[in-house]
Structure 1
């Protein structure tokens, strides 16, 4: 699809009319760089049915009357990479939006530098742009902080974050197309672009002048031409000098797992109608199979079943899985039977992420539960209770109300009109997060001595159960290849994040090794330090001169 076709056919991408520019929503953009003359709006492509972070640009001179401009090349770029996650795409939109703001805010400064530096001005511009993204634009002074740019960007929280954005911009530039590859310096008359395409031409010139790409360090050295200069991004961003420690390990406290699942989701024991948050507990219980928080939201009713007194579960690809060799995959079934898209392709509150899992040729993997005593009985009981007493009655009421059917296992058990939630709607990420947070708060009240706080580094988020899953498998002696398969990782390095030792384990292991050597008299060949009493005797002898 060409840019022209997109511009004429995608009428859904024209939500703003003249005079509405001031009402455009503003994004926080990771909390360090705001949006001044641009806006990013999540929209569905009307032809390909994929969510896109569309970039809308405002010309400051026309901000009162002129409508925002859609940056069409990004749409072409995203459609050509529709398998990539929305979170990956939005980085390109943010970087181009920030660059647009930067160029307009520093117009006079860069026009003066252009007269001074000539064709090197474009490289200086990009150099200063990346520096300001890294360090922020606010400068402390004797009369308080000030910002000559008017952008008021905060310093970027981490080098890793900034590098990710720079790579996203670089990849877009690499694929932008031949219409700007050959742009010469004298074709761009001013550093202040008259259009978004001029902006990209400007950045491409800066890259051509510097001669290097940020992707340099991501490719095999043997494939790269030998060049003497380093790319400007890496020189400015620098290396990530933060201290990465294995502690605190972000796994859910092992001794609180059973109380969390049995007590945390009990709302009010005295009110049978509001006694429990059954859907929240079922979602949390599925975490004992090592599932990420979004993965249970993709489960259909037939993905879980009791066979020979065991609950068996399957992670099936939300798009490509075909049940029993049938011709239709899940995407086709959802479209033809329910009028829905797979949840990883949807936008809004029903969207649910799907990371690349290690699935078999038939696009599914079996869920392996934690090897804990009594866990099968607990899971069977929870599954049967939820299916019989929660989901089935809820979906019958939904049908009676004339609401459409769907195949998803987890459902909203009640209606919330203020939020637009209908009874039986597919369970959402927001509902799961809220349910988990309330359960943590209840657990903290039931166990005041534990200091239970919802915090990532304490492992008390929902994802902490997945970290606990990996830790338990490692502590029981399973090797890395086994853990990789159980956690459905495509790369073995991904599993190591979940099996890291904490300081307490390292200390205990070293103390045990010391006692073992001491008990078995195996220290003769190792250096050893004298005891405290021996050291004091030697010190006294030296002090008195051998008395």
Structure 2
């Protein structure tokens, strides 16, 4: 069954507002029940959640088309589908009669797909009395033990655990899903962060404009806009999408640092954040509204986290706000010199964009081409960041910290190295849980090696001396493949 994803504008009443959601279309038309399911959750769920729902259903429909009339029930089909998400559909001989040729999916991805389809199936059962794909069954004693183990773990971590309904929990322990997802083994590894020693090089040698690298005019020489975004990520610890919600009105001088020009930057919730007071009613009084109303009423736009347009969309993950009345987070510069640098460059940036026509309040805009004046896309910044990394002689990679994500990790690592109190670290990183910062407490591989080497020197003669090993390895080893043709770090004769 061929399926196509479309973006639909759905009007639910005679009002002028509509919901913009992804939908699946087959040769028989739009899958209306799935569209209805997404509409029921559109007010509370993110676009990324909807995209996962679409992807999951698309995979299931492809699987059904490839296995028509092979299963006696929907439950049997779903069970096989789940197993082959984990195993893939390709045999050991390289053949796949179903022509799906799926590779095995990792546990996290497969579990997300399974959960999405089970949620949709349960919704269909509740609303249309359709038999569920993954019904509940009586739990055996082992399954009940697993349930209570998981329940106790969640209960002990929950601040409001004392309010949980124990009677309801006991009833839930009697039943489990017929098809259970794989347990995902979680390992808290150290995050890769952008090296501080290369940060200045990135800003002032990487983010330069082609052909103007030696210009005395700083606006010509530097890509000031992308330097500002990078400072927010690395010096302020923001998540990748958060700078793209910044309005021009959201930057002022920090009143807490008298005598120093440090930028005071607030990132408001894209929907519920307090709007600027520059939109007036008929009597000349400013409207007191949230940012969603402000965008819609003054500019005819929707918040960036609600958009399906990839060039406009910017996500939002923050759960812990610094101000619950105005709904914003404050950028906490560390070290504070980055806040001073930001303010100096911010003034240059404002001068640079003052004559560019804009029909939106967002701070960071495209400065050339057909998108001149439009809100800058995250993908455009990614590309510019990669070019800047290449300019300073490195290859952009998330695994080495040389990507935009590495900057927030560098901020967290800096806080950890400075031995900042964990509660303060949580607030600076805008985490809702203290546990979220544990990834910054894991030692890097290089740090582990350094610590072990230091410990080895302290042990001294308490262990077998290096001389014993030197004597042992002095004969018969160096003459084996001395030119590293078949071994070594860059062996030459590969099969």
Whether TM exceeds 0.5 here: the answer is yes
Identify which of 212, 220, 241 aligns with 2:151: 220
TM-score (norm 1): 0.70
SS across alignment from 1:358 = coil
Change (3 A) 1:366 1:468: same
The answer on 1:412 being equivalent to 2:366 is: yes
* Post-superposition offset of 1:468: 0.2
The answer on 1:176 being equivalent to 2:107 is: no
Identify which of 351, 374, 385 aligns with 2:348: 385
The answer on 1:52 being equivalent to 2:14 is: no
Equivalent pair of 1:166/1:233 in contact (CA under 8 Å): no
Q: Which residue of 1 aligns with 2:5?
A: 40
* Post-superposition offset of 1:261: 1.1
- Quote the Cα distance in structure 1 between the aligned partners of 2:121 and 2:429: 36
Equivalent pair of 2:23/2:30 in contact (CA under 8 Å): no
- Quote the Cα distance in structure 2 between the aligned partners of 1:317 and 1:256: 32
Q: Which runs of 5+ in 1 are unaligned?
A: 1-35, 59-66, 115-120, 184-200, 399-403, 445-451, 519-527, 537-547
Change (3 A) 1:43 1:460: farther
Larger radius of gyration: 1
Q: Which residue of 1 aligns with 2:373?
A: 424
- Quote the Cα distance in structure 1 between the aligned partners of 2:298 and 2:127: 44
Greater mean alpha carbon deviation, residues 132-141 or residues 218-227: 218-227
Q: Which residue of 2 aligns with 1:165?
A: 113
Q: Which residue of 2 aligns with 1:532?
A: 465
The answer on 1:137 being equivalent to 2:89 is: yes
TM-score (norm 2): 0.76
Task: State the structure with bigger RCO (CA 8 A, min sep 6), 1 or 2.
Answer: 2
Q: Which residue of 1 aligns with 2:479?
A: none
* Post-superposition offset of 1:511: 5.3
Identify which of 245, 261, 265 aligns with 1:313: 265
Change (3 A) 1:217 1:135: farther
* Post-superposition offset of 1:477: 0.7
- Quote the Cα distance in structure 1 between the aligned partners of 2:148 and 2:84: 22
- Quote the Cα distance in structure 2 between the aligned partners of 1:76 and 1:534: 71
- Quote the Cα distance in structure 2 between the aligned partners of 1:489 and 1:457: 23
SS across alignment from 1:53 = strand
The answer on 1:246 being equivalent to 2:189 is: yes
Name the Cα RMSD after superposition.
3.2
Q: Which runs of 5+ in 2 are unaligned?
A: 153-165, 278-286, 470-495
- Quote the Cα distance in structure 2 between the aligned partners of 1:517 and 1:312: 50
Q: Which residue of 2 aligns with 1:322?
A: 274
Q: Which residue of 1 aligns with 2:320?
A: 358
Q: Which residue of 1 aligns with 2:59?
A: 98
* Post-superposition offset of 1:383: 1.0
Change (3 A) 1:311 1:278: same
* Post-superposition offset of 1:516: 7.4
Q: Which residue of 2 aligns with 1:487?
A: 429
SS across alignment from 1:377 = helix
* Post-superposition offset of 1:439: 0.8
